[in-house]
Amino acid sequence: MTPAARVQAAIEVLDAVIEAAKGEGAPADRIVAEYFRARRYAGSKDRRAVRELVYSVIRAIGPVPGNGRDAMLAFGRAEPANHHVLDLFDGSPHGPAPIEAGAIEAKPGLAPDWLVAALARSGVRGEAAQALMGRAPLDVRVNSLKADRGAIDLPEPGEHLAAPQGLRFSPGTRVEEWDAYREGLVEVQDHGSQLACLAAGVRPGETVIDLCAGAGGKSLALAAAMENSGRLIACDTDKRRLGNLAPRAGRAGAGLIEPLLLDPGREIEALADVAGKADLVLVDAPCSGTGTWRRKPEAKWRLTPRALEKYAALQDRLLDVAAQLVRPGGRIVFVTCSLLDEEGSKRIDGFLARHEGFEPRAVNLPLGTPRAEGTRLDPFHHGTDGFFVANCGSAC
């Protein structure tokens, strides 16, 4: 592909990403993969160049653009380092048509204006806000059921992180091709996610409920911390995502994990045998994902004020469910990968107001910044994805 053809390909991918963002369609990485699956003539260098250009444009544009061409034009004019892109609108074969006078362009920026304002109200502004559009490293957790960070032999040396089994590698490291990955010695997991699991403070022999387990990344970390002793119920309402947990648990040797598919609104019914008996309920609640923009920058285009309200209402409901599951003296650890107070401190304030039998407890982590009754992790200050973590204890 010529440089101009690469720009045109990126515009076409951006068109698909924009439409998907408006209609809750496929994520950008899947759209890129499907685009090139239908164009097998494109070489690996072309695919990599187009992908990098697509993500660079997404990171540079604030509000949802009208189309990919407008977004590319705005990207080209935003910074001197990008001006060369404009020269490729030359009308050459497979390239973008020449720029016309009065062309409508997208607006550069961090995110839609309402979302930038919401982040600022939550104390995320300036360099801390811009860091959300950086590029994430690749972090792994050494599985302590099978190995130890101090003794494991890996193809590349990783940077030791604050989490006791955490290692960091450069983006693009092909961890999935390592024998250690195939044998369950390591799991890909962001450092912030590892620290959130550390905040749970689980011990062998406890009864633990991971109420929103998804594909089970945090369940696997909890199982390792529990040393495969006790009971760990990994719940979710998404059958497809939860179905990924069993093979991962088998590879990791996490034999105590019990996957449980839940029916929304009937969680207590499904968990009746452990209601009021859990030592810990981890509520890793569905959220806007503002803390994961380094990995999914198009998520900023998917979020609306109404969607944020729905996430907050769901988080409140899940916390109320957790309150019925935890035993006297037990604890609820609330986690969201969001930096918005609407999905963090405000949810905990509301929970504590509704449930007088609970009180905030310290979140003991080697990294983090206090935020109301919890702790915040973010890319700028801590080099992690963005997380809010809170610990609420039940009175004995």
Show which residues are catalytic: 337
CB 90 within 8 A of CB 70: no
Helix (H) or strand (E) holding 371: strand 369-371
Nearest partner of 57 among 38, 78, 42, judged by Cα: 78
State the DSSP string of 225-275: HTTT-SEEEEEES-HHHHTTHHHHHHHHT-TTEEEEE--TT-HHHHTGGGT
**Any idea how long the chain is?**
396
Angle at 168 between CA 166 and CA 169, to 5 degrees: 150
Residue 283 phi, psi dihedral angles, 5° rounding = -110, 85
Annotated ligand binding at 236? The verdict is yes
What token pair was written down for 111? 């995110």
CA–CA separation, 189 vs 236, rounded Å?
Answer: 19
Looking from the CA of 193 toward its CB, the CA atoms found within 13 Å total 23
Residue ranges of alpha helices (H) inside the chain are 3-23, 28-37, 44-60, 68-78, 113-121, 127-130, 179-182, 191-200, 217-225, 239-242, 245-252, 267-270, 299-302, 305-325, 345-354, 379-382
SS3 assignment, position 369: strand
Nearest partner of 357 among 324, 390, 335, 317, judged by Cα: 324
What token pair was written down for 86? 């404009």
The single residue listed with the structure tokens 């006790």 is 230
Amino acid at 189: Q
Binding-site sequence positions for S-adenosyl-L-methionine = 236, 263, 284
Annotated binding residues, as ranges?
Answer: 236, 263, 284
